[in-house]
Chain A
C-alpha cells in the first residue's frame, strides 16, 4: 500500500542523546515536511523540502536538522535532545508544493 512510513513508532530518549527519526514515502512526491504536534498548539512545521537536494526552515527549526538525499527519504535529526523536544512528530509529503499533504502515522518521542 502506497504511503508514508515513519520509524520508530515511539521512543524514549535520554537528554543529550542524538536521535534520527526516519521517514520514507513511495508515492514519488516531490515535497516533504516534518511537523511536531503538541497539545493545544496544533501542528508546527519544523523543516521542509520542496525537491530532492533542497531543504528549508519552518516555524520551529532550532535543535533539528534534515537532509534530502533522494526523493523517497527525509530523515529528521535531533543532534542533542532536550526535554522540550518531547512531542509527536509527523512526516508528510505532497506531489508539489501547494498540493494536499499526506501524513505518516507519527513518532511519539519522549525526552527524559
Chain B
C-alpha cells in the first residue's frame, strides 16, 4: 500500500515569512494529493489538492508542487499569518484510499 512521509513534524516561522512542508510517497500509481489543515479540536479541512497531471497549483497564499519523478510534493504558505497556526496533513491516493502523513504542527510567531 501507499506510505506517505511528512517533514518536518514541527515548524515555527515568523509572521510574514514563508513555510514549506514536504511529503514523499511510495506508490508510483498515486495520482491525487490533498492537503488538510486541522486546528486544535476541529475537523481536518481540505485547503488545496493536486492531481498527478499537474505540476503546481496555487490558491492565494497557498501553493502545492508535485514532482512525480522524485515522488514528492510540497505545500508552500507565503506571508504567514497567526491564523495559519495549525496542524497540516498531506495525503496520497491511487484510488479510493487516502494515506496520510503524520502531520506538521505549524506555529506562526507574532
Contact = CB atoms under 8 A, between A and B. Distances in A.
Interface in B30-57: 31-32, 34, 36, 42-46, 49
Given A100-B49, A101-B46, A102-B46, A42 B102 contact: yes
B17 to A, nearest CB: 25
Contacts of B25: none
B43 A105 contact: yes
A101 B97 contact: no
Interface string A74-112: 000000000000000010000001101111111000000
Query: Chain A interface: which size bin?
Result: 20 to 34
A50 interface: yes
A106 B89 CA distance: 16
A41 interface: yes
A44 B100 contact: yes
Do most interface residues of chain B lie in helix, strand or loop, or is the interface mixed?
strand
Contacts of A48: 96-97
Given A97-B95, A101-B46, A42 B89 contact: yes
B80 interface: no
Nearest to A3: B43
A41 B99 CA distance: 11
A88 B99 CA distance: 17
A100 B46 contact: yes
A69 interface: no
A112 to B, nearest CB: 21
B32 A98 contact: yes
Nearest to A102: B46
